[in-house]
Structure formats: structure tokens, C-alpha cells
Structure 1
Amino acid sequence: MAGDPGLFGPRSVTWQLHGDPMMWIAGVRALYLQALHPRAVRGVVQNSAAFQRNEQGRRDAWGRLMRTADFVGTLSYGTTDAAERAGAAVRGIHRRLSATDPATGERYGVDDPALLLWVHCAEVDSYLEVLRRSGYPVGAAQADRYLDEQRESARLVGLDPATVPGNRAALAAYFDRVRPELALTPEARGVDDFLRRPPAPAPLVPARAVLWGGVARLAYG
């Protein structure tokens, strides 16, 4: 094969899984799950244009979703250089952002490794879970190999790969540990509302209910 196959290459489980259309459902499911971590979701809500109106009073809802999809696509299928540059850009953005705990007034960075790890694990778990439930033939060995491959993606957002679950058992143990920290906060309800009814021009609201409503319900289910 000519050219640079990037971080994973055509024989990887990542290339196989990430090209499936159900990844769109899995991505929405990941956002639902990520929103259940109070500190992580505050970092998103307090810094994302998707939840803050711009000078024209509009929220950048679809832009947020498409930028996330583009990032995953670049890490998965882009050249090594493109993936490294995309990761560096995200790390740079995260270093400049912080969030405030409304209960305590504590200010913390969104590049806290614990928060980055939660976002990563919720993401890869969603990709695996949705594709397997949809009928995609992912065996146990392939699932473990996929999680091990995705340590590279974790590295690009600023995590030490050695601290990232690399198989199903380690991922399950991680979720058991973090579960007591999860909660249905007002911010999480805001993400739920955003995902079920993303802002749309008035003429497109009926179409949103028909076309997007099913996507959001399936991802939530």
C-alpha cells in the first residue's frame, strides 16, 4: 500500500469499526454517557458554543457535533501527521479552558487527566457497545484489540496510554470505580435536551422531529 496509513492502518479493528454508519448513533450515545460525570459535563457546558448563544442568538449545535466527528475521523483514517496535529490542537484548546464548580467555587482545568479518561472511556465503550448491539460482528478478542488500539487516541488528547483501559475487563473495572461519581445534574439534563432537540430554524423543526428524533431515541436506548 502506498502512502502513510496513519496511526492504525487497514488491518486494524479501528479501521473496520469506525467506517460503519452506526458510529453516528454511537457518537450520540457517547455524549449522553459523558454528560453523567458532573465535572466533565460542566467543562463542556461552560465552554462550548453549542450551549451558549452567539451574538446572533444562535447556538453552534451542529458545528459541535461535526467537529467531533471530523476529529475522530482524522485520528482514525488521517495520516500520522494529520492525526498528531489534530491531537496537538485539541490539547492546546483544553489547556486554555477551565470550569467552575457552582457548589464550591472551585476552578479546575478541563485537561484534568481524570476527566479526559472519562471522556475517552465513555467514547470507546459507546463505539463498541452500539456496533455490537447493531449486529456488527465484533468478537471478544477483536473488542480487546480495539480498546488496546484506542490507547493511541487517548495519547493524542493528553493521556498516558499506560493509565488507559486496554481490554474489556479493565474498562468494566474502570466504570465500576467511577460510577459513584456520576449524577443526573442540571447540566446533564441540558445535554439531554440539546441532543433530543438540537436548535434548528423554525421551518426545519418538523423535519428535526422526524429525522433526528429517531437517532436521539435510539442512541439513548
Structure 2
Amino acid sequence: MSRAILPGLTEPLRARLQETLSGQRTGVPAWVTEFESGQDAGFFGPDSAVWAVHGGMPTLVAGIRALLMQALHPGALAGVYDRSRFREDPLGRLNGTIRWIFTVSYGDTAQAAAGSAWVKRLHEHVVGDYVDGHGRPAHYSANDPYLSTWVHLAFADAFLTTHERWGGPIPGGSDAYVDQWAIAGELMGVPDPPHTRRELKAALHGFADRGELRCDERTREVVDFVRRAPVRRSLRPSYAVLFAGAVASLEPRFRDLLGLRMPHLGPVPLPAASATRLVLGGAGALLGPQTAGERAARVRLARLQDAGRNASRA
């Protein structure tokens, strides 16, 4: 009887989680289904480090961690704060980011390039002024290669670090992921993205070493918004654990810059890492072992493989 009851209990939660991630409670978004009709294998494949990292449940923590890190650069933050509708439509912004990640990860090369060009077109009007980390007035543009570099670094580091903590093996290791995801950076106009884990960490710390990062009132407002993200009520306890996991995964230098502390209850540290592992395990049980993007990409790859075999026989 328990097996019969369990789907009835978990289906509403699964639907709400899917809605948060994809923008719809049931079915597969049309833009994901389009991956099936691509004309080549894409930049990555089933044995790639990118599929291993982006297909894992630690991405739920990585998204939070990336937002926290990106908020440390006043130029990147200004674009979000001034021009984004993150307060009115936070899930819409999240869904747009997920769409780009999935398209580059699982689409064919033309779809990945077109998806990146679409994001850059949206960024064309995201311009304005801000005060930099040294207190000097500066101008920002969301497509500026230097700001794009910071966003790329924060993203890659977040997804890699959380997978190293809570994910499985990475084909080729951590360096392989950084090297492969450099393609995404290049598609977004990042000059000379890092290709190894060491280069990635050095580039991140370089921004801090040069005094370009800071935490001000705007940063704290965004961090507080991320901490209390307007997810469905049923998901809030799990989200609080994921946020704590993201904070715990930050390097002390960046955690201190953000004014955050390791999760604790009074003087007693909380087991954020183990609690996060439990929540990620539950999310994996609800969502299944493969993302919709991966399933669609595998359909395309099987079709292309069959076409190749038929052509060789002709």
C-alpha cells in the first residue's frame, strides 16, 4: 500500500520543484524538445565533464552560490539591481538562466550559439553607472567582456565546487570541466577563460586581490533576497538547507566579504554539508536520474548515429 500512496504524496512536491526550475509544472518545455532536432552532436556529450556536472543535483546549490558570488562585483550587481526584474519575477530570471545553461550543455552547436546570442541581445540595453570597488564612478554594460568574465568565473566555480562536494565522479576530473565550460565563456564573449581549476581559482582571487569586489547595502539587499527567495511554501525548508549549503561551500575569503557566517545555532555549528546531501538526495528521487535536456540530447544523438550507420551502408 505504501508504494501506491507514495506517488500521491510526492507528485505535488515534484511538480512544484519542476515549476521552480523550468517554469511549468508538467511536461517538457518546447525549447528543450527542440534539442531532439539538432543537426550535430553539440559541444558536449554523455561522457563529458559538463554533462556530469550539469546533470547532477548539486546544481541546485550551485545556482544559489553563483548568485551570491556574482553579487560581490558592484558592476555585475548594478546590472541586476537596476535593470533586472528579479524582485517582481525572480523565477522568470532563473528560468532564463537555466534555459541558457541547458541549451549550451545539451543543444547542438547552432542552438548553443543562438542561445548565447539571444542572451547577449537581451543584455544590449543593460547599461548604466555604478561605483567600483575603489569608490570611483564607473560605467557598466552587461556585455562588457570584463564583467562577463566575472560572471563566468563565479558560475564555473559554483558548479564545480558544489559538484566536488556533493556530486559523483567527473570524467577527466575538475580540470576537464573548467576546460570544457570555457567554450560557454567564449560564446558569451569572455576573453581567455580559464582552462584548469587552478587558473579558475587564481582568476577569482585576482578580482579580490585588485580590490574590485565589495559588499555594500545593495549587495546585502540581494543576498537577503536570495536567502528568502519566494519559492513555494512546501519547498522553503529544503531551500533553507540548500542556502546554508551554498554559504558553507564558499571560500572563507568570499564568505567574509559577503558578511555571511557558517550556519550555526548559537555557538554550535550546524551540519550544513550532511543536511544538504540529504535534501539533494530527496530532490534526485523526485526529479529522476536525467534532466529533460539530457534525455532530449540523447534522442538527437541516437538519431544522428542511426543516420550515420545508414549512410555507411548505402
1:94 equivalent in alignment to 2:123: yes
Aligned residue among 195, 216, 223 for 1:185: 216
Residue identity opposite 1:113 in structure 2: P
Matched-pair contact (CA < 8 Å) for 2:57–2:167: no
Match of 2:63 in 1: 27
Aligned residue among 154, 177, 186 for 1:155: 186
Residue identity opposite 2:52 in structure 1: Q
Match of 1:218 in 2: 245
Match of 2:72 in 1: 36
Aligned partners of 2:139 and 2:157: how far apart in 1?
A: 29
Match of 1:116 in 2: 148
Match of 1:129 in 2: 161
Deviation, 1:15, is: 1.2
- Any gaps of 5 or more consecutive residues in structure 2? 1-37, 249-314
SS at match of 1:150: helix
4+ residue stretches of structure 1 with deviation over 3 A? 102-107, 206-209
Deviation, 1:208, is: 5.1
Aligned partners of 1:135 and 1:106: how far apart in 2?
A: 39
Larger Rg: 2
Match of 1:67 in 2: 96
Percent identity, aligned pairs only?
A: 33
Shift in CA distance, 27/49, structure 1 to aligned 2, threshold 3 Å: same
Matched-pair contact (CA < 8 Å) for 2:75–2:130: yes
Shift in CA distance, 136/170, structure 1 to aligned 2, threshold 3 Å: same
Structure 1 residues 47-58: aligned runs within 5 Å? 47-51=83-87
SS at match of 1:107: strand
1:45 equivalent in alignment to 2:76: no
Match of 2:40 in 1: 4
Deviation, 1:137, is: 2.3
Match of 1:85 in 2: 114
Aligned partners of 2:56 and 2:140: how far apart in 1?
A: 36
Aligned partners of 1:155 and 1:96: how far apart in 2?
A: 21
Aligned partners of 1:24 and 1:135: how far apart in 2?
A: 11
Aligned partners of 1:174 and 1:81: how far apart in 2?
A: 29
SS at match of 1:99: strand
Q: What TM-score, normalized to structure 1?
A: 0.85
SS at match of 2:123: helix
Aligned partners of 1:106 and 1:145: how far apart in 2?
A: 36
Match of 1:56 in 2: none
Match of 2:35 in 1: none
SS at match of 2:214: coil
Aligned partners of 2:180 and 2:200: how far apart in 1?
A: 13
How many residues were matched structurally? 206
Match of 2:257 in 1: none
Aligned partners of 1:169 and 1:106: how far apart in 2?
A: 30
SS at match of 1:5: coil
SS at match of 2:199: helix
Q: What TM-score, normalized to structure 2?
A: 0.61
CA RMSD of aligned residues (A): 2.1
- Any gaps of 5 or more consecutive residues in structure 1? 52-58
Deviation, 1:6, is: 1.2
Aligned partners of 1:170 and 1:3: how far apart in 2?
A: 33
Aligned partners of 2:197 and 2:136: how far apart in 1?
A: 35
Deviation, 1:107, is: 3.3
